[in-house]
Amino acid sequence: MNWSLILCLAGFLVIGTSEIFENEPFPSNEEDEIDTNVHKESFLAGGANSLDEPHVFDQDEDSVEESTLVENLAGEYNDEVHENIVGERFSEGAMSDSDLIVNNRIPHGTLVPYHYDLYIRPNILTTPPFYANGTVRVYFECLLETNVLHLNVFHKLMTVDKNTIIFMLSPDNTVIAPVPELFSITSRPEMDMQSYQTKRHFMKGAKYIFQAEYRTTMGKQGEDGFYWDSYVDNKGVTKYIAATQLESVDARKLFPCMDEVDMKATFDIFVQIQANKHTALSNMPPARNVLLPSGWTEVQFKRTPLMSTYLVCIIVGEFIRKPVNTPPTMKTAINLYAVETQQYRLEFMARFAVAQLQKWYDDTTGYPYREPKLDHVALPNKGGAMENWGIITYGEELLCMDNETTSIVGLFNGVTIVSHELAHMWYGNLLTCKWWDDLWIQEGFATHYNYNPTEVLGWDWMLTQQSDQRRGIQNFMIKDQKNTTDPVRKTILTPQNSESAFTSSTYNKGGALIRMIQGILSRPVMNSAYSKYLKKYAYTNVVTKNLTDALDEEAKLSGITYPDKKPLKFQVILDSWLNIPGYPLLECTRQTNQVEIRVTPSLYLHPRKQTPISINRTEHQVVDNFSYSWEIPMRLVTNLSRPIDWDGVPSHWIMTGQTGLTISSSPTQWFILNPRQHFYYRVLYDAVNRNLLVGQLLADYKKILPETRSQLIDDNFDLARNGYLLVTDAMEFTKYLSTELVYNPWEATLRHAHFIQPFFKKDLSYAKFMEYFSSKLEKVLDELRYEFPEQETVLTTFLRKDAISSACAFANQKCLLYSRDQFKKYLASPNINTINANALPTVLCQGIFDGTSNDWEVIWNQYNKRKVVNVKDERNAYLFGLTCTSNPALVDRFFNDLVMNKTFRSRDVSQATLYLAANERGAQKLFDYLDKSWEDKSVIIPKTSTITAITNSWYTNDQLNRLKVFILNRKNLSNNEKQQLIQAVLQVELNRDFYAKNSAPLDKWLKDNVKPKSRSTIEYMRKGVDESAGTKLKNMQRRVFSVGGAVHNYWNLLQESYYAEKIGRIYRE
């Protein structure tokens, strides 16, 4: 049969590199004649068990025994170049049609793995590059006769020793079948695949073992797969760590396997280490240690649960273990691990977080964690975290923290990420998506559960999910209103394309949709549905329909329906939100005793001039006049609603295809359509309802719940910035803020206030703008004070931190005096952390702006001392402070060191660039540099994000033209770069139009709403500025304005505009 012709006609012709073993010696076909001596050079051949019996360990044994196996001689592999042979040389035993490889995926339906034995020895005793020697046994069952086994192998790093390949029957096989002999090997590097053809077919129902030895090159730190990491110990010695990061398809870099997310198996893992130097960690606890003659120790781990290959984890290094006290009802051992330099910083997570959060999941899911242990391991240079089953890995900054150096931002990120990774023990590990296009049912759940479990720590999770600047709803809505966004559910064709599933929409919007499900069903009903869902599909792979069926069933049992009593159809509800990028805008118009609610005919875009994007999830091409439609739940509350009504089921729906609906409403009552922002859209209320809502805020703001107060501020400012309203309409919602002591409304206000602040800095009303927010923040700080007590809610700490930063940005005199006093204390002992970590960025920035070049040198030296330490909050505070200087020579020095890659660690470059972009001179230097060096491959700073950061506050025609010329001069831009730069142009155009439309109205509004002070603003002069800057400040000082009969010196506020603009830019980013 001419397979080349058939493959070509089918469109699947794959020309690989093949070896035919017609003359190679093979074991007999009879199972009892298998000669295991062919592996006498490998400790990996048998472990503590022979080939004739499955691996079952004595679970109580933790002894060190002398291994009866001969150890592998590292590095003895056959590296001969494979002969180029095409598929038609498969002369004996033809492939079946099901073996045709589609989209680079292992064929399904023929051979299915159910267990792996993985033996590996990573050698990290010298210096990089590092290698690991291993042997793998793949246990698989034949579902359909074939004579080809396909395994994923990452050829660039891994070599499989062909001379060690053996097929055999599995000990648990019950079907009479011959043992196939290897006939040929075909390598397909472009597919990360190696195919093994046998002389005889695998028989349906029979179970087999594939065994081979291999060698793999470990990746560098920061790379995925099996990689090495490093750190400097307390004696100044560089130490190395071996670790894994296998999601999504990098298990093939660790061992040959069927690296498909839905091909779950159990794993017995054996790791060889130098026990006097290293600790080995894996998914399960050690079953026993075997001492080998050479002095190496083989750590044999207990069998894993049924899981996907990407969840396998192996770590080798010098770690300190910190056991966690757990409640008596919890049967799982919890341990934290870190290297010696960080061990003392594990205390917070050990005492207050990991066990408490895990118990919340045990109680809430109704399906307690069932594995014997769960480790949390801090790795020095890892980014983010990874939910390996039984052993979660983190970047050190997420697990290691202390009161001295960790701000509330670091604490919050650490706790929410721990909570996120714990969620994956259920949503991702116990239940796993069938393919990566349904990744959202793992990451959406986990992102929602960033927040929900933190209620055990006393945190208000509904508020934190709304306001989180990393994964929160309001933050992501800013990104999701641009035509560069993507849908939650993507089309993923190949394993190599799986990384494109891991975008922020999958996480953040996915989490918002889980919140929306709660808003539809209520929390008790939702939890009941999820508990049944977990129990029904435990240890399997799922698709979205499995989830929606569970939700439908629970809604039916609970009597929750559409308003017309028809049953809810969650697949219909969710499909539109999952498949359509962006979200709608609801426009409400009051007419006598009713309200007309209209849905925008396309998604809400900000800026409005953007072209809508196609829903085509494979190409994402831009098209005009695309029709969008969602199933939109609404919950109507008014000033007469009871507190329980704010969390009730939806009272109204706009169904797919509908353009709106009309509901009854009293003309004297305010109404809200999306209380507590359970649902994912913006609402534009008419002037009458806005005025009623503002009146309620001024009369008794607590009548409107804080999530909704924040939403009203956020929506109205966003709509004003986008041209739907005047900015004064949004400013009305800030009048009550002097008494607001909840973080969320302030977070939304400050985010928008700092964004629009630079547009008005040349207006005479700018001083009043500054005074308006300064006075309101002063009242908040009078209540909260400037000290940070240890025992308070996380949102209160966030509010105090941002209030201090913004009050100084708005030139509040009390705040400035506080900052200067703190900076003096800091200078007295800069080697000691005397300033609270939450106030440190503001104190350093103010001190550097006021101070001398010697002060700058102190901060510079401190950064250089601390940059080797994995305390991100602290490093960022010093970088931020350094870029607050107004000394041109110091700005230039910072810039030169940055672009020439002299001083900064690679992990700090992006943040340092962002901070420098907020410095007026720094922004100019960066813009000019990128204009000249865009195509230079040696550029290390982020390019498009830097241009975006610089131009976000541009609003004049001259600036717009400059940006357009910059883009015209660019050659060979990638599609992503083009999109980002087009977005920058649209934003500057929108800023220009916003200023033109709002300058005069805002001037009048400020005159009407900012009361003149009874005394002059405190005057002061900055130190450490050059002569030209001093001249400018003197010129500013002469500008005295008369307001309401009282003479006020506003030069101080004008002088503060630089610092205020800088804080504002950073806050916007």
**What would the pLDDT profile of 744-781 be if each residue is shown by its tens digit?**
999 999 999 999 999 999 999 999 999 999 999 999 99
Whole-number pLDDT of residue 1037: 31
Q: Is 1061 annotated as a binding residue?
A: no
For residue 506, the 8-state DSSP code is I
The CATH fold assigned to 407-492+499-577 is Neutral Protease; domain 2 (1.10.390)
Task: Give the bridge partners for 195, in sequence order.
Answer: 150, 186
**Order of strands across the sheet with 286-291?**
64-66, 286-291, 297-301, 266-273, 111-123, 131-142, 207-217, 158-169
Is the omega angle on the peptide bond into residue 675 within 30 degrees of 0, that is, cis?
no
Whole-number pLDDT of residue 15: 32
| Residue ranges of the chain that CATH labels 2.60.40.1910 | 583-719
Strands 333-338 and 373-379: parallel
Instruction: Name the CATH code of domain 744-1068 (choices 3.40.50.720, 1.10.8.50, 3.40.50.12170, 1.25.50.20).
Output: 1.25.50.20
Query: For the packed helices 975-1009 and 944-951, what is the interaxial angle rounded to 10 degrees?
Result: 20
Dist CA 541 CA 445 (whole Å): 15
CATH of segment(s) 583-719: 2.60.40.1910
Dist CA 225 CA 237 (whole Å): 26
Dist CA 409 CA 946 (whole Å): 23
Q: Is 201 annotated as a binding residue?
A: no
3-state SS track over 221-238: CCCCEEEEEEEECCCCCE
Pair 94, 26: CB distance under 8 Å: no
Dist CA 505 CA 582 (whole Å): 9
| Residue ranges of the chain that CATH labels 2.60.40.1730 | 3-318
Q: Is 420 annotated as a binding residue?
A: yes
List, in order, residues 6 or more apart from 136 with CB less than 8 Å away: 116, 117, 118, 119, 210, 211, 212, 214, 255, 256, 257
How many helices (DSSP H) and strands (DSSP E) are in the chain?
A: 32, 33
How many residues are recorded in the chain?
Answer: 1069
Q: Which of 298, 387, 421, 740 is catalytic?
A: 421
Predicted confidence (pLDDT) per residue in 555-603, tens digit: 999 999 999 999 999 999 999 999 999 999 999 998 888 888 888 767 8
Reduced to 3 states (helix: H, G, I; strand: E, B; else coil), residue 638 is: strand
Pair 887, 911: CB distance under 8 Å: no
CATH class of 3-318: mainly beta
Nearest to 218 by CA among 334, 293, 315: 315
Dist CA 463 CA 601 (whole Å): 30
Whole-number pLDDT of residue 310: 98
Whole-number pLDDT of residue 275: 87
- Ranges of the chain with pLDDT below 70: 1-99, 601, 613-627, 1013-1069
Whole-number pLDDT of residue 627: 65
Cα separation values, 783 from 113, 294, 304, Å: 63, 68, 54
Reduced to 3 states (helix: H, G, I; strand: E, B; else coil), residue 378 is: strand
Whole-number pLDDT of residue 13: 30
Strands 193-202 and 146-152: antiparallel
Is 318 known to be catalytic?
Answer: no
Say how many C-beta atoms besides its own lie within 10 A of residue 898's C-beta: 25
Dist CA 749 CA 481 (whole Å): 19
Reduced to 3 states (helix: H, G, I; strand: E, B; else coil), residue 794 is: helix
